[in-house]
A and B are shown apart, each in its own frame.
Chain A
């Protein structure tokens, strides 16, 4: 009994270090393997002297300034839009059952892989897309698709639309996750009610009472979203311009170019990409400080109403627009997956056939199994590590240091395009024969932060009095962990697991690179086909990609309820 107890304590104490190692070593190793070639050290091509010719090449690339500007502007604007819409929705529907409905409607968007979402949105806004078909020919007079520049517009408006639609559900879900914590959520809702009873309009009450307490919990998710958007590849590749593209897309193309000496330029580009991302994060942080300072007096000036009704109406319009876009995009994907020939400007396909599903499903079982296995392993590992790390935090009764919490989010804050190519080289040195393990480890880099993000606050906010009572009754720490904390945290654990699975399911670059292409998941198949010529086949894969994580969330929602009723 004593050995079992001490074994648990040892495990708990060592887990934070294991977690740090699993996060820091791959990222740092990958970065070093990119920094060296960036400064000219690339022995394969016989370059063994340090210089800055890669950066000089980069500087001389035509349109390089535009590439950087496009990356910065699209990611900043889309993150700002997603954040503003998130708080508008929260503010407008804070006390309304609609908040739950919107969450349920937007939830599935979170788990659609970026590539699939981009294709679905692309279908809406292309000249032959759903919007154009809706108004043709009766209103527009178009018998054949107009020759307009959407998507791929030079300003990146299509990228902004795609990124915003993908980021919004994530931020909203994170905010609702915070509000779902029994203690905090209850307090905030109670404070909101008090504000209402003091005559504040609901919107003002939200902004003055709830938001200041809520924002600190949203800061890291927002920064992660911003960092991701600044270096994401799939959406700008499919919806963005290509003359020139965003910096991240250009870097990927240089890395993949047959001219191997371009790797040096690509590595230099990766370093610049990191600098851009850091610049964006810093910019957001400064803007946040500024707004906080400026709005301090507004918080306590006692004013009850700031055109709340108008804002609420604007929110209604935005929400309806967002849901319409998403609804039409989903409808479009379903229609494509069953479509016979579908001529312009017909609103519906001429015939509906099942052959696209049939032939896709025949080829799908191996990738499907791999997707589930990798997702399951990465998520399981992430949950165990997170729980043990959080438990160790409570044993030593100090919260993780600032450095540690930055390290946890390292893979989310450093653009993956910057370290993944190096990581492949590192994996090649260490363990080149167990591709499956490599892929799981690469997925873990991205799954772990999200799982930690989603579990940490619930765990830390668990009322310590339960543990005190149990301990005073003689329960060991292991027993408290297993029999008190875990059952109380069942719902957040399942949500975190579903989130982890969804993140794992949607990984493209890590699967492709760490797996050496040997391991195909539904996502790698979908992206390969998305670059292909058939909207119909990629619609089938995109829908399967959506169904998988949706199933995960359904289980995460239903299972704790069943287990808890069983316990009672």
Chain B
């Protein structure tokens, strides 16, 4: 009975989905009854979700990512006749305020935001104000491909449990890049960075908090500077930031920054508001060293002439801050079923493999490759020919540093602004 049921379902499920679902089904034949129930539920979502609009609020500052989302829109149009609208945000906070405004206007059914690309602080804020729909991610057949049982990180956003409010979409790690014509030996650790800045005054900077990249740099520095502390103190980084833990962990950071700032771009008197400006300043030749969370933007920017051909990428030896970014559904999404179909497609091997290609976006896949057949695993291997900057030095040897508890972000931003935010 079970195989015939599967065959039946297959008729209804569109081609690209079928493989993923059958892999998923094969893995779990022992819980066949529950599975068929879930499949029936999914079948219903599919039936209800087709032929609607989905409003995906996602930061729109990178043409490469915008093009990828456009491709996703074409795909879901073909598969489900879903019209995916990419609402381009300059700041994800805009989507947060929109949903909040809707909630205050008692619009609990017909929200303008279906999906949001989100993580960290924004997620914590939305979760706190109950602006997201819970427990829908496990309904997605493709979510199993991330192997959540063995990868608890897929269910935690900066240490906060996601409770099925958001599905993982991609992974990123802090990657540095430099102009090899201006410096041959870029700093390999945070301590070397300070020395390097003394030798190359004005050629390094980081953005102004609370910019995302700025916070990432500060968190990297905070973790690296406290690395030699005993574990009991270090582990406080992954707990809510109390006054005591701040007194233990923050002084080395401020000392380091006091020392670093006079050697920064504009002598540390001015910090760019947007993290993306770092890339523009690299292209202008004002900076010789910068960093990013999307390493693939570097070779892509070289190809578009936004960065010099002499650009190279690497990771710091003392560790790279790593995190996962997610797609969340709002509690008042007007098209929840269609939104689930879209997110399930985002998690499909086809979409994830395409996203990982450096020429497309270069965002690391969240799928556990062990969950895929060999033929599909091959989709994820990089192409042979690419710019040298696509080859990240130390990629494997640089230890991954987990994001501290989100409360540290507020503490760092507020204290940084008090210390350096207003010129004296």
Contact = CB atoms under 8 A, between A and B. Distances in A.
Interface string B24-53: 000000000000000000000000000000
B156 interface: no
A363 B66 contact: yes
A528 B63 CA distance: 10
A363 B90 contact: no
Interface in B62-88: 62-63, 66-67, 70, 85, 87-88
A259 B101 contact: no
Nearest to B91: A256
Given A63-B421, A258-B122, A525 B88 contact: yes
A428 B105 contact: yes
A551 B172 CA distance: 44
Interface string B303-331: 01110110000000000000000000000
Interface residues of B, number: 71
A44 B57 CA distance: 22
A64 B175 CA distance: 36
Given A62-B421, A145-B286, A244-B422, A533 B270 contact: no
A98 interface: no
Contacts of B301: 533-534
Interface string B84-99: 0101111101111110
Contacts of A257: 93, 210
Nearest to B306: A534
B107 A428 contact: yes
A394 to B, nearest CB: 43
B94 A344 contact: no
B420 A243 contact: yes
A520 to B, nearest CB: 6
Interface in A83-139: 126-128
A520 B87 CA distance: 8
Contacts of A525: 60, 88
Nearest to B281: A128
Nearest to A367: B88
Contacts of B57: 517
Prevailing SS type, chain A contact patch = loop
B88 A344 contact: no
Interface in B251-294: 265-267, 269-271, 273-274, 276-280, 283-286
Nearest to B409: A258
22 contacts: A63-B421, A66-B422, A145-B286, A243-B269, A243-B422, A257-B93, A258-B122, A258-B124, A258-B125, A260-B125, A340-B305, A341-B309, A344-B285, A356-B304, A429-B105, A512-B94, A516-B98, A528-B60, A531-B61, A533-B278, A533-B279, A533-B301
Interface of A: 43-44, 62-63, 66, 126-128, 144-145, 147, 149, 152, 154, 237, 241-244, 255-260, 263, 339-344, 351, 353, 355-356, 359-360, 363, 424-425, 428-429, 432-433, 435, 512, 516-518, 520, 524-525, 527-529, 531-537
Interface of B: 55, 57, 60-63, 66-67, 70, 85, 87-91, 93-98, 100-105, 107, 110, 112, 121-122, 124-125, 129, 182, 201-202, 208, 210, 265-267, 269-271, 273-274, 276-280, 283-286, 297, 301, 304-306, 308-309, 410, 417-418, 420-423
Given A154-B269, A243-B208, A525-B60, 20 more contacts: A44-B103, A44-B129, A128-B285, A145-B285, A237-B273, A258-B121, A260-B100, A340-B305, A341-B305, A343-B308, A344-B284, A344-B285, A356-B304, A363-B70, A435-B112, A528-B90, A532-B61, A533-B61, A533-B277, A533-B297
